[in-house]
Chain A
Amino acid sequence: MAITIQVLNSILEFNDTCASENRSLFEKNNTYVVNLMSSPGAGKTTLLEKTLERMGPEGVAVIEGDIQTTRDAERLARFKIPIVQINTGAACHLDGQMIRNALKELDLSRIRLLLIENVGNLVCPAEFRVGEHAKVAVLSVTEGEDKPLKYPLMFRESCVCVLNKIDLLPHLDYSVDEVVKNARQINPHLELFPVSCKTGEGLDAWIHWLGSKMSHA
């Protein structure tokens, strides 16, 4: 005879436990952690390059997530900071356990800012906490104003959206007001920073935000 057993287990419990443990380590070491997410090619790695150029490498580390290659880590190697490259092989997102394993290669006591560059994907990374203090979405102006509406979880979970490639605006039929309106519909608290990693326009506001978060960590 069939019986029903109440289970009531969160499916993401294991991941959330790893994420909480990671977070405890970050708190203990006074390390501020940002989880940088976007679709492929929006400019995450370039944003990291520009961020490191402006902030300097002191006390900064990066965890790079890609399905394959170490190209992103290689691009950042010139800054001579601790970098851990995770190749997921097939997984479309980083999760708490992957970050936990990566942390074994880092001395958090010397790291004030840890930037995690997630796998290029606007869907799955938003689902998986890794212990970060802030999720930051990078959206480029070539992706259309409707993306916040199409990927609501990403934009609801993020506290900042860096709107990249604004140097291309003269060549596009794109309304920054429209993307801001759409993003704020999903998340009224979302801070948007329109930037051009190419020209440097708008980057000061992003750097300032990062700096303010680190000093309050």
Chain B
Amino acid sequence: MHEMALAQNILDIVLDAARRHGAHRVRRISIRAGRLRGIIPEQLQFCFGFVAKDSIAEGADLSVVTVPIKARCKACGREFLVEEFKFICPDCNDPHVETLQGLELLVENIEVV
């Protein structure tokens, strides 16, 4: 949800980076979004298309890579992918795990001309 607020933030970041590199047009934007963020790529693309109108990022393709949730068991050290939001160690069943990935939300890179 709230893809509109995020789209605006993405536009600000992208335009700033493009300006600093003297770019004329942004063609593609790569986003990394952890699964815990609940981002819907199609909604994000739609909202971005809306906010980017009349900017050098208008029409840019938003590519969203969804990062799976990974955790580490604090009891036995096992690292594992969290399926269905079960934050429980598959080896020792201990529920005390720390999230290693899945909360990312960043603009990784942009393709410009």
Residues in chain A within 8 A of chain B (CB atoms): 1-15, 91-93, 95, 123-124, 127, 149, 152-153, 156, 184-189
Sorted nearest first, the 4 A-B pairs with minimum C-beta distance are A188-B95, A152-B85, A9-B13, A7-B107
Assembly CA distance A152 to B88 (angstroms): 14
Closest to A187 in B: B87
Assembly CA distance A149 to B109 (angstroms): 33
Closest to B37 in A: A127
Q: Is the CB of A7 within 8 A of B112?
A: no
Q: Is the CB of B87 within 8 A of A156?
A: yes
Q: Is the CB of B85 within 8 A of A186?
A: yes
By size class, the interface of chain B is 20 to 34
B contacts with A: majority SS: mixed
Known: A9-B106, A12-B105. A3 touches B112 (CB 8 A): yes
Name B91-112 residues within 8 Å CB distance of A: 95-96, 99, 105-112
Assembly CA distance A123 to B88 (angstroms): 23
Residues in chain B within 8 A of chain A (CB atoms): 1-2, 5-6, 9-10, 12-14, 17-18, 21, 23, 27, 31, 36-38, 85-88, 95-96, 99, 105-113
Known: A3-B112, A153-B37, A186-B85. A8 touches B2 (CB 8 A): no
- Known: A5-B112, A123-B38; 10 extra A-B contacts, CB below 8 A, are A4-B110, A7-B17, A7-B107, A7-B110, A11-B31, A95-B5, A127-B2, A127-B38, A187-B87, A189-B96
**Which residues on the B side are within 8 Å of A93 (C-beta)?**
2
Closest to A10 in B: B106
**Which residues on the B side are within 8 Å of A187 (C-beta)?**
87
Closest to A152 in B: B85
**Which residues on the B side are within 8 Å of A185 (C-beta)?**
85-88, 95
Closest to A153 in B: B36
